[in-house]
Amino acid sequence: MSDIACAHIGLPGSAPVIPVSLLNRLARERLEATFPLCWVAGEISNLSHAASGHLYFSLKDSAAQVRCVMFRSRAQILGWRLENGQQIEARVLVTLYEARGDFQLNVEAARRGGIGNLYERFLRLQDQLASEGLFDSAAKRPLPTFPQRIGIITSPQAAALRDVLSTLRRRAGHVAIVLYPTPVQGEGAARQIAEAILGAGARRECELLIVCRGGGSIEDLWAFNDEAVARAIRACSLPVICGIGHETDFTIADFAADQRAPTPTAAAEIAAPERAALLARLAAGELALRRQIEQQLNQRGQHLDWLAHRLQHPALYLARQHERLENLQRRLGAGLLQASARARAMLAGLNRRLLLARPDPARQADHLETLAPRLRGAWSRTLQGRYADLARLTAGLEHLNPTAVLARGYSIVANAQRQVVRESRSLEPGQPIVVFFHRGSAEATVRAISEDPACPLAGGGIASTASAD
């Protein structure tokens, strides 16, 4: 708590002055921190339903009362309606409404008074049997569509029995009823209900069982929250419908049954289809069947008329077939003649082409003798021409042969790396050179360089422009 709240208020002037809003807030925080969520029992009074959906009321007992509020989000999931005068047990948060400084309880959940321990036992048994698979939907047995005999397990004095009988009489008066009387509340009722269920299953006098009872408190319905009853329902050889209490009442037997009905009357409605509705469906089916049969008969009659129109005397049919056969025979003869004529004409044409294409050996031999001199003359001329071309090419090659130039008195000058020297200016005095002649070569050294292009030889020969030793 803050320092202000912890200030010593016993001494005058020692505590600061605080506003009312802060005081209320501190009081609310202290209340909510001190009191955890708890269950409070009392009677509802001054119940008010606000337009917002919140519920305002008081819980009271013989000595005191306290204001309560249940917000809309909690009231919507309550599952039943609060009313003045009801004894309830509320799970509350102790708090303070700061705006008015009112001490109040915020109600988180509520249950009818006196059922706290029973409800806990109910939840524990429900969890146990569910974990064993007793409530699995796969184990539920299908109900017969048109039962002829229905068994009812309830008290003969129960108002629920009258409701079930009147409903069955109204909906399916032809269905036989077998009553298995048993107490539905009080000491030993659960054991007797379980024995009645197992006995009805063993006797197999019926096709379906209805276990029913009218509404009441949780204590009144407690016989149907017994483990023995749930196990008897699952062990019974007949499918079981449970219609116990009002629509908001749930028992262990409801979970174990093959079908749960919200009320005993609803159980009777589920067990037997309404006879009038079945008769109406039967009449509608009969009418549809009649119409379908009439339609089929009309269609078959029309088809019969069509077949009768097509039906002919066998002699007439044979005469037409004979006439058709003669026509086909004439067409076949004409077709054979035409095909034979076309084949003969084709054969004659092929014979002419064969005669024209047949070879004549004598004429071909004369032709070959005529062509032989021409071939020999053409081959001789071609050979002479090839010889002349070869001689011309040989003379050209001889003209281009550098050794032939050397034979006419020319020489080739190369440097020490055997590279041909084409200009005197590429040489230097004292540089060794090699001179190649038509026959042999000579090594020399350059003494002087001259760039005069005039040839010093009168005979037209070409000499090196470099003076060499």
Question: Under a CB-based contact definition with an 8 Å cutoff, are residues 62 and 74 in contact?
Answer: no
Checking if the pLDDT of 7 tops 50, the result is no
pLDDT given for residue 355 in this prediction: 77
Residues 6+ apart with CB under 8 A from 63: none
The answer to whether the CB of 286 falls within 8 A of the CB of 164 is: no
pLDDT digits (tens, 9 = 90+) for 79-127: 778 889 888 889 999 999 988 888 999 999 888 776 556 777 888 899 9
Check residue 10 and give its pLDDT. 43
What does the pLDDT average to over 136-145?
Answer: 90
**Which residue, among 59, 75, 70, has the nearest Cα to 107 in the 3D structure?**
70
Given a cut of 50, is residue 465 above it in pLDDT? no
Cα–Cα nearest to 421, from 468, 351, 368: 468
Average confidence (pLDDT) over 415-435: 88
Which pair of structure tokens corresponds to residue 321? 């077939």
Q: What is the pLDDT of residues 165-204, one digit of tens each?
A: 999 898 888 889 999 999 998 889 999 999 999 999 999 9
Strand partners, 164: none
Mean pLDDT of 276-298: 85
Dihedrals phi, psi of 158, to nearest 5 degrees: -70, 140
> What is the rounded CA–CA span in Å between residue 424 and residue 4?
125
Q: Provide mean pLDDT across the span 132-153.
A: 91
Is pLDDT of 294 > 90? no
- Return the pLDDT at 306: 81
Residue ranges with strand state E in 113-169: 149-154
Distance CA 382, CA 191 (A): 138
- The Cα 469–Cα 262 span in angstroms is 145
Q: Three-class SS of residue 56?
A: strand
For residue 194, which of 219, 211, 179, 175 has the smallest C-alpha distance? 211
Q: How confident is the model at residue 12 (pLDDT cuts 50, 70, 90)?
A: very low
Write the CB contacts of 169 (distance below 8 Å, at least 6 apart in sequence): none
Unique residue bearing structure tokens 């060499």: 468
Tens-place pLDDT, residues 426-437: 888 989 999 988
For residue 386, how far is the Cα from the chain centroid?
Answer: 89
- What domains appear along the chain, each with residue ranges and CATH number? 3-114 (2.40.50.140), 153-277 (3.40.50), 405-468 (no CATH)
CB 468 within 8 A of CB 447: yes
pTM of the model: 0.43
Q: What is the pLDDT of residue 464?
A: 42
Structure tokens at 309: 């129109």
- The per-residue pLDDT for 79 is 75
Pairing relation of β-strands 441-449 and 466-468?
antiparallel
Neighbours of 412 (CB within 10 A): 15
- pLDDT-based confidence at residue 408 (cuts at 50, 70, 90): confident
Does the structure show a pLDDT above 50 at 234?
Answer: yes
Residue 66 has pLDDT above 90, yes or no: yes
- Does the pLDDT at position 1 exceed 50? no
Cα–Cα dist 315/321, whole Å: 10
Helix (H, G, I), strand (E, B) or coil at 461: coil
CA separation, residue 197 to residues 221, 236, 246 (Å): 17, 7, 22
Average pLDDT over residues 369-390: 89
With bands split at pLDDT 50, 70 and 90, how would you rate the model's confidence at 455? low
Which 3 state secondary structure label does DSSP give 240? Answer: strand
Which has more pLDDT, 256 or 396?
Answer: 256
Q: Where are the alpha helices (DSSP H) in 312-449?
A: 314-357, 361-400, 402-407
Per-residue pLDDT at 468: 53
Residue 301 has pLDDT above 90, yes or no: no
pLDDT for res 86: 85
- DSSP 8-state code for residue 57: E
CA 23 to chain centre: 62
Mean pLDDT rounded to a whole number for the chain:
85
Q: How confident is the model at residue 454 (pLDDT cuts 50, 70, 90)?
A: low
What amino acid is encoded at 460 in this protein?
A: G
- Unique residue bearing structure tokens 């204001």: 67
Whether 249 shows a pLDDT value over 70: the answer reads yes
Number of neighbours of residue 286 by Cβ within 10 angstroms: 10
AA letter at 172 = A
For range 24-31, the mean pLDDT: 91
Reply yes or no on whether the pLDDT at 469 is more than 60.
Answer: no
Q: Which two tokens stand for residue 213?
A: 């009872």
- Report angle CA 305, 309, 315 to the nearest 5 degrees: 140
**Mean pLDDT throughout 281-309?**
85
Say what the pLDDT of residue 106 is. 94
Q: How many C-beta neighbours within 10 Å does residue 428 have?
A: 9
Three-state DSSP at 108 gives: strand
CA distance linking residue 24 with residue 69, whole number of Å = 18
Percent of the chain clearing pLDDT 90 (strictly above): 38
Q: What is the pLDDT of residues 202-220, one digit of tens each?
A: 999 999 999 999 887 777 8
In this predicted structure, what is the pLDDT of residue 193? 94
- Cα Rg of the chain (Å, integer): 66
Query: Kindly report the CA angle at 281 between 277 and 284, in degrees rounded to 5?
Result: 135
